[in-house]
Amino acid sequence: MSLPKESTFFILDLDRTIFDTIKATEVMENVVARHNPEMATRLAQKFEESSRIGESFSARDFIVESVGELEMQTIEITYKEVAGSLDLLLPGARELVAYIKSLPGARFGILTYGSPLGQAMKIEAGGLADVPFLVTQETFKGSQVAAWRQNDGSYQLPDELGGGVAASIVFVDDKPFSFKGLPVDCRGYLVKSVYDAGIEMIPSSVQVVDTLSQVIASEKQHRPSS
């Protein structure tokens, strides 16, 4: 679907921005423990190590390396069943999505770094299967967004995010380095999480917030009539 040229597109990061990665990993650990307690212990250790050094980690890929794709698919079925009874989104995420949906001419999608199958699994577990998403291998997402900029200042969105042209971009992420290269006419929100290295180097157009509720409040100030 084409976006009206005057529209705003909200780019939302997944892990630790709108998705409770810690809670979701604990759910996966519990599910894996039913199949292989020793592997569940190793999964927990690997996740803790990766989080401590700020490294991306795919629980799904880790499990596949240990038991293969077929057994992972069996585990994934149970995981999605359990996740379906839980809320794996962070506080304020559903309110932010509802707010964006209420804005005339606004749409949103998820731009997330990592393993394609692993991130897709998380998105479905979070109840976001109907949301367009793009799994990227570009850590500097701001530079990726800059590549979408057209000569007239609009942004040509990739097909994975629904395509179309947006007049402006709002980008929400939890990692300071994600904003590297972000065009100055884009609004950005850095949601504080475990990643704070380089926070002093984020572009001036990026606002540091503690919660997603603050993102909503700030956006309302940009749209006083909404």
Cross-strand partners of 171: 11, 188
Are 124 and 15 within one domain?
yes
pLDDT of residue 223: 77
**CATH number of the domain encompassing residue 164:** 3.40.50.1000
Q: Are 121 and 83 in contact (CB under 8 A)?
A: no
Q: What is the pTM of this model?
A: 0.92
For the chain, the domain total comes to: 2
Q: Indicate whether 122 and 190 sit together in one domain.
A: yes
Helices (H), the chain: 21-35, 37-53, 59-67, 69-83, 93-102, 116-125, 141-146, 212-222
The pLDDT averaged over each successive group of 10 residues in the chain (226 residues) is 68 96 94 91 91 83 92 93 94 97 94 95 95 96 97 95 95 95 96 82 93 97 70
For residue 172, the enclosing domain spans 8-19+88-222
